[in-house]
Amino acid sequence: MSWESAPIIWDEDGEPPAGLRTAIEAKMRKNFTDELCDLGSVQDLLFHLVFLSEDMDEGPTVIVYHKEGSEAFHCQYIATPEWVKVGEI
């Protein structure tokens, strides 16, 4: 399967702003091609983060994951992520 053609499904509570969706999906597909090139199928993906700006601390981010039985990338857009250190969980 080509990462350019794999469906993208957005979480109900994690959709990007409507006016930015096309640009965000294009950036994500480029990232998939660059970063997930060794992935056999969407089902092999645990999760993947796509940083949408140079600011990896506070910039918008997309969490990409799979759902069993689906060949789509499932995604959640986060405008301002709240990072938690592993020792603080």
Taking residues 8-34, report their average pLDDT: 93
Whole-number pLDDT of residue 1: 55
Domain that holds residue 48: 8-81
Whole-number pLDDT of residue 2: 64
The band of 41, judged by pLDDT with boundaries at 50, 70 and 90, is: confident
88 found inside a domain? no
Taking residues 51-56, report their average pLDDT: 94
21 found inside a domain? yes
65 found inside a domain? yes
The per-type count for the chain, helices as H runs and strands as E runs, is 1, 4
Within 13 Å of residue 16, how many CA atoms lie on the same side as its CB? 21
Taking residues 11-33, report their average pLDDT: 93
Whole-number pLDDT of residue 73: 94
Angle at 2 between CA 12 and CA 43, to 5 degrees: 55
Q: State how many domains the chain has.
A: 1
14 found inside a domain? yes
3 found inside a domain? no
